[in-house]
Chains A and B, each alone.
Chain A
């Protein structure tokens, strides 16, 4: 149980375009979802926390107008990178936590974004 999927697993887009990444909890309802960013050979950095039906809370230094997060249902959160630039190229990972066990997060496999 507790499976989280992400789609797509990798995406290449041109500079200036937008790209949407989906994060789904497959077998549980996720009241809270988190988005992380991981640069090559580096650690994961928390970008934002989203609760179903409310606005996401962004970490300091993360541009909310650039990284749009929507958590419209208890099983789906999306991250849209708007007007992508090469410096946005990274590995984006989501995690999900259920209301019963918010102390543990279940991670998706990640999405590799390359902006050319």
Chain B
């Protein structure tokens, strides 16, 4: 069965500092990997996705993620965070096609002024 692990429940980062959110997955075949952000009272927004090709993926809002097959990881990064980045971040995996997503438990990002 597929699974996603986000080891950090909470992360606090100062505004302007760099950010890395960790994600490890377990999947028997080539995974389709996603990062979503959920702000209070809002729906899930897709930040970026990886299907194949270049393992460094660029997303919206200045985010990027790197797929490392050898480490089964898909960590999310941002060079300089803004207060508006405070939210819940979810990593997800699927087999593509008509598969539903398997989500990690999420990482709550807190931005310090």
Contacts and interface: CB of A to CB of B under 8 A. Distances in A.
Interface stretch (A14-22, A68-76, A80-88, A96-104): A96-104
A49 B100 contact: yes
B100 A108 contact: no
Nearest to B49: A104
A42 B43 contact: no
Given A42-B105, A43-B90, A44-B103, A97 B46 contact: no
19 contacts: A32-B98, A34-B100, A36-B100, A36-B101, A42-B106, A43-B105, A43-B106, A44-B90, A46-B100, A46-B101, A46-B102, A95-B44, A97-B98, A103-B51, A103-B96, A104-B49, A105-B101, A107-B36, A107-B43
A108 B38 CA distance: 12
Contacts of B42: 109
Contacts of A4: 43
B90 A49 contact: no
Contacts, number: 51
Interface of B: 32, 36, 42-46, 49, 51, 90, 94, 96-106
Given A46-B102, A107-B43, 7 more contacts: A34-B101, A43-B104, A44-B101, A103-B32, A103-B49, A103-B51, A109-B43
Interface string A19-54: 000000000000010101000001111100101000
Contact of A110 (B43, B97, B98): B43
A43 B36 CA distance: 12
A102 B103 contact: no
**7 nearest CB pairs, A to B:** A46-B100, A109-B43, A107-B44, A43-B103, A43-B105, A44-B103, A34-B100
A97 to B, nearest CB: 7
A46 B36 CA distance: 15
A44 B91 CA distance: 11
Nearest to A32: B98
B44 A93 contact: yes
Nearest to B41: A109
